[in-house]
Structures are given as C-alpha cells and as structure tokens.
Amino acid sequence: MIRFDRVTKIYPRSGGSAALRDVTLHIAKGEFAFLTGPSGAGKSTILKLLYMEERPTSGEVRISGYNSADISPRDISKLRRRLGIVFQDFRLLEDRTAEGNVAFALEVTGVPRPLIPGKVARALTAVGLASKATAYPRELSGGEQQRVAFARALVNDPFVLIADEPTGNLDERATRGIFQLLRDINASGTAVLMATHNLDLVRSSDYRCIEMNHGEVVYDSADAKRKAG
Amino acid sequence: MLSLRSAFRAFSRAPLLSLLSVTTIAFSLFAFGLFGLVALNIRNALRTVEERVEIRAFLADKTPVEQIAAASDDIAKFPEVEHVDVVTQEQALARAKRELGEFKDVFESEFLPASLDVKLKPGFRDPNTVRRIADRLRALEFVDDVRYGDEWITQLYRLRNIAGVAGGVLGLAFAAVAIIIIGATIRMAVLARAKEIAIMRLVGATDWFIRRPFLIEGSIKGIVGGTLALILSYVAMRALQQYLHLETAFFDQRMAMLGVASGALMGLGGSAVSVGRHLRKV
C-alpha cells in the first residue's frame, strides 16, 4: 500500500547533505508502525514524502496507486483527501469551534453540505469529544485539542493516518489517551504511521518499529522478526 | 457560494486590514484618476484649439462669382474638408472691423481680398494634411495666397504628442504603483490566513479552491476602491471648479465604468500574483 523504493531526499538549501539516503520501506494495509529516531533523523521527511509535500530527489514513493514520479497537483489533492494527517502543534483554526474545525476539512473538499453535520458528529464521537463540539480550541486542554485534530483527520475515512509527534506537546495522561485512540483507529482497519520520540510508548506495545538515524533506516522490527523467524 | 461567503468573512474577520487595503487602493486609483482628469481636460482644451485650424485662400481681384462658387463646391467635395465658406470683400471688411475694433476707422474701402475659408474634418487637422490641402488651393489660378498658421499648427501638434506620451507614461506608472500596492495588501491578507491555507492544502483542497476566495476578495476591494476613487476625483474636481472657477470636464459614464472595472481588474491581478506566489512557496 505504501512503498519507498531507494528514496533519497536532498533539500535544495541543505548544502548537499541528504535528509534521506537510499531508503526502501514497505508498509502494509492496516498496519501500525512507529517511526523513531533522534531529531533530524529523517522521520518528518518520510511523512512529507508520503503526503507529497516533498518529492524524492531520486527513487520513488508509491502510495495507494499514486507514484511520486508522475503525480499531478490535482491528484495530490485527491490523495490527501484519503489520508489523515496530524501534527504535534494540532493546527486548529482558533476562530472555529471543535465541530467547525472538523467540518472545515469537508467544506473545502466539496463534500455536499447536508452530509457534513452527520459526518462531523460521528468523527467527534469516535475521538470521545461529542460533548465539546461547540467549544473553541482555547477552551480545550492540549489533549482535547489533539483529539479535535484527530477527528478532522478521520472525518474523510482515511486509509492511513499519518501522525507526526502527535503526543509531543502532551502530558503523560493525555499521551496515554491519544495512544489508546490510535490503537482504536487502527483496530477499525486504518493503517497508522506515527513518528515519535517517546520510546516508552514504543516499548509498551509490540507494533512495528522503524528506527532512523542520519537519513537511513537503522533498525526495523519487521526485518528482525523475519530473520528470527 | 462558499468562496463568496469566505471572501465576505475575510472582510468581517479583519475589518482594519480590509479598510486599509480598500483605502490604499482608493488613493492609488484616485491619483490615477486625478491624472486622468488632467489628461482629459488637456485633450479637450487642445480639441477646442484644433477646431480653429482653418485654411484661408485669398482670391485674386475680379474673380467671377460663378468661378468662386464652382471652386467652393469642388473643394467642399475633398474628403478631408468639412465645409467651405466664401468670404466676399465686404464680409472680409466687416470681419476685420469686428475683430480689430479700435482700428475700424482705418478700414474704409474694400482693400481686403475675398477668400475661401476652408475648415477640415476632425482627424485631418494635422500639419501634413493642412499643408497638402493648402498646396492644392495654391495651385488654383485665381488664388493669390494661402495662409494657415503653419507655425502654430506644428506647435500645437507637438504639444499634443508630448501630452499624449507623458500621459501614457505617467498613467502606466500610476497603474503599476496601484497594482503593486493592491498586491501588497492582498499579500497581508494571505499571510493573515496562512494557517488556514496550510490546513486547506493538508486536507486536500485544490489550489483553485484556495485561490478563489482571495480572487473574489481582491476584485471586491478593487471595485469598492475604484468607486471611492471615482467619488474622490469628482469631489476634487468640484472643489477646483469652485475655487479656481475653471470650466472642467469629468469622466463620462463609459469612462467611469471603465475606471471601476480597471480597479476590479487590478484587485484581481494583485490577488492572483500574491496568492500564486504564496502557494508556490508553501
């Protein structure tokens, strides 16, 4: 479903040093995978290549039938409607309520108006925030704001959820809550790719772990299991 | 519909910024409009002067009346000629007395020659045409002399050309300044909504969808700014008329609409450039 084939990425103003070096990866449908490693290891670059914010310098990224080598701007929009993307800093609109923020993702992608309220209510219920639908982001805790971001990411029924340090700004309790939410999302069939610094979280589960350093994959628990098996 | 709502929401959400951009557009178009008014009035003034361009062919003494009438008819048929007046010796005397009142005692007898006064059609009053027609008249056997103010026609046309070129250059400069200012104000609006744009792209809105409300917003600002500029120009012109007692012309309906439309076009162009640049960058 997601395939990185010998991908190298060099940012234009990086002085020639590669953010990713010859990375080959495969993530299966419905899989849950952690992406770990120190800052600058290339985790965010992997995610950006997935939602085609960046293109590889060499090699190719294939995701759900789209190929980074020949994808058009229009197809990038189409692809993103089928992805759910969440960041450390939530990225909510301050002048919209929780439901307004979730509805926004539907409004700007041309979903018919009458369908929007139902979809929004379902997404907010799924993240456990149905009772705070009319609250503004400033009235919500960090964990709740991140749940709104998850509801927005889920409202279009994505086949993969891409989360870049989603618990980076949250305390221990909220982190546990979000992680449980991610498990639930995965259990319902959505693949999850989560970049994180939180090794406790990684160790507490037996999901696949891909560790990066200096733009290379240095450890992949899937490979380790295969070799052991 | 959503774009239109979104464009109007942009006004209500950032009223100060919107006010600032509309005012800036209004003032840059106002400067443009003032210059346009000056150019319009110079052109009108020149046209009035140009209407006085006339070729006067003085006739030899004792030219038979029939011959003069026939020649007058012939000349009136030239495609460049608007009309021909036959001025007899008596009429010439009367005119001289009228025009030079204080010397009227000097004029006693019919010493002024009769003439054919030829008026040219608009568009044929340039030095070359005037000279060509004058030469044709001079070739007639009963014409003694031809006068047409060679010097001042050339001067007038030189002045008109300079005014035209200066008008074009300054007008373009003002328009360029207006477009740059509009672009900058829309850029501020774009930056104020950078987060919203980033989220739109992330959830899969197309570039065209993102662009549309800004283009509508820019056009509305252009139309409002253009209308304000028109009102300001009118007020300024009335003030000039009142205090300087100048007879001045204002833009006609077509030109006024063209002005507002060009405001809208500037707004649209400025927005397109600003949003395009922003979308390419993020």
Q: 3-state class of B193 per DSSP?
A: coil
- For A74, name the nearest residue in chain B, comparing CA atoms only: B206
DSSP state of A137: G
> Any chain A CB within 8 A of the CB of B281?
no
- Span A132-136, average pLDDT: 96
Give the closest-approach CA distance of A121 to chain B in angstroms.
18
Report the alpha-carbon angle B112-B116-B119, nearest 5. Answer: 130
Residue B104 has a pLDDT of: 62
Burial pattern B231-247, b for ≥16 Cβ within 10 A else e, equals ebbeeebeeeeeeeeee
Q: What's the CA gap between A82 and B28, in Å, rounded?
A: 46
- Span B166-189, average pLDDT: 78
- Cβ-Cβ pairs closer than 8 A, A with B, add up to 46
Q: Which residues are CB-neighbours of B70 under 8 A, at least 6 positions away?
A: none
Q: Is the pLDDT of residue A28 over 70?
A: yes
- Span B91-108, average pLDDT: 72
Report the alpha-carbon angle B29-B34-B38, nearest 5. Answer: 145
Q: What's the CA gap between A170 and A149, in Å, rounded?
A: 14
Sign of the C-alpha dihedral computed for residues A64, A68, A70 and A73 taken in this order: positive
Contact B13 A95 (CB under 8 A): yes
Q: What's the CA gap between A38 and A127, in Å, rounded?
A: 29
Domain A1-82+159-166+191-229, CATH number (from 3.90.1640.30, 3.40.50.300, 3.40.50.360, 3.40.50.11720)? 3.40.50.300
> Any chain A CB within 8 A of the CB of B14?
no
Residue B282 has a pLDDT of: 64
Contact B204 A93 (CB under 8 A): no
Report the alpha-carbon angle B42-B43-B47, nearest 5. Answer: 115
Contact B199 A85 (CB under 8 A): no
B185 φ/ψ angles, rounded to the nearest 5 degrees: -70, -40
- Span B222-229, average pLDDT: 90
Query: Are A192 and A160 in contact, with CB atoms under 8 Å apart?
Result: yes
Indicate the pLDDT class of residue B107, thresholds 50, 70 and 90: low
Residue B110 has a pLDDT of: 61
- For B209, name the nearest residue in chain A, comparing CA atoms only: A108
pLDDT in tens, A141-155: 999 999 999 999 999
Which residues of chain A lie closer than 8 angstroms to B210, CB-CB?
108
Which residues of chain B lie closer than 8 angstroms to A95, CB-CB?
13
Q: Is the pLDDT of residue B179 over 80?
A: no
> Any chain A CB within 8 A of the CB of B205?
yes
- Span A39-44, average pLDDT: 92
The domain locations on chain A are: 1-82+159-166+191-229
- Span A175-186, average pLDDT: 93
Contact B207 A73 (CB under 8 A): yes
Indicate the residue type of A155. V
Give the closest-approach CA distance of B206 to chain A in angstroms.
6
Considering only CB atoms, A108 lies closest to which of B13, B195, B205, namely B205
Q: What's the CA gap between B103 and A206, in Å, rounded?
A: 120
Residue B31 has a pLDDT of: 81
Q: 3-state class of A144 per DSSP?
A: helix
H helical segments located in chain B = 2-13, 15-50, 65-76, 89-99, 127-138, 150-192, 194-203, 207-244, 253-281
Q: What's the CA gap between A136 and A223, in Å, rounded?
A: 45
Q: Is the pLDDT of residue B102 over 70?
A: no
Query: Are B129 and B120 in contact, with CB atoms under 8 Å apart?
Result: yes
Residue A80 has a pLDDT of: 95
Residue B105 has a pLDDT of: 64
Considering only CB atoms, B196 lies closest to which of A83, A93, A110, namely A93
Report the alpha-carbon angle A188-A193-A195, nearest 5. Answer: 140
The domain locations on chain B are: 2-48+157-281, 54-147
- Span A195-200, average pLDDT: 91
- Span B150-161, average pLDDT: 76
Tokens of A32: 């849950």
Give the closest-approach CA distance of B161 to chain A in angstroms.
50
pLDDT in tens, A96-128: 999 999 999 999 898 999 999 999 999 999 999
pLDDT in tens, B69-99: 888 888 888 888 888 888 888 888 888 777 7
Query: Are B114 and B92 in contact, with CB atoms under 8 Å apart?
Result: yes
Contact A80 B2 (CB under 8 A): no
Indicate the pLDDT class of residue B168, thresholds 50, 70 and 90: confident
Contact B202 A78 (CB under 8 A): no
For A2, what's the count of Cα atoms within 13 Å in the CB-facing half-sphere?
A: 26
Residue B39 has a pLDDT of: 76
pLDDT in tens, B235-262: 988 888 888 877 788 888 898 898 889 8
- Span A219-226, average pLDDT: 87
Indicate the residue type of B157. Y
**DSSP codes, B195-208:** HHHHHHHHHT--HH
Residue B81 has a pLDDT of: 87
The rounded percent of chain B whose pLDDT value lies above 70 is: 94
Classify B54-147 by CATH class.
alpha beta
- For A51, name the nearest residue in chain B, comparing CA atoms only: B202
A70 φ/ψ angles, rounded to the nearest 5 degrees: -135, 20
Residue B109 has a pLDDT of: 58
Q: What's the CA gap between A147 and B140, in Å, rounded?
A: 100
Q: Which residues pair with residue A210 across a beta bridge? A: A35, A220
Contact A108 B202 (CB under 8 A): no
Indicate the residue type of B26. A
DSSP state of A115: G
Q: If you average pLDDT over every residue of chain B, what do you get?
A: 82
Which residues of chain B lie closer than 8 angstroms to A81, CB-CB?
203-204
Q: Is the pLDDT of residue B227 over 80?
A: yes
Lateral strand order in the sheet of B143-147: B81-87, B115-120, B54-59, B143-147
First vs last Cα of chain B: how many Å apart? 26
SS (H, E, C) A35-82: EECCCCCCHHHHHHHHCCCCCCCEEEEEECCEECCCCCHHHHHHHHHC
If we measure between CA atoms, which residue out of B48, B149, A2, A199 comes closest to residue A221?
A199
In the block, residue with structure tokens 């011959």 = B67
ipTM for the predicted complex comes to 0.88
Pairing type for strands A216-220 and A191-195 reads unpaired
Q: Is the pLDDT of residue A225 over 70?
A: yes
> Which stretch of A72-86, B34-48, B260-274 has the lowest confidence by average pLDDT?
B34-48
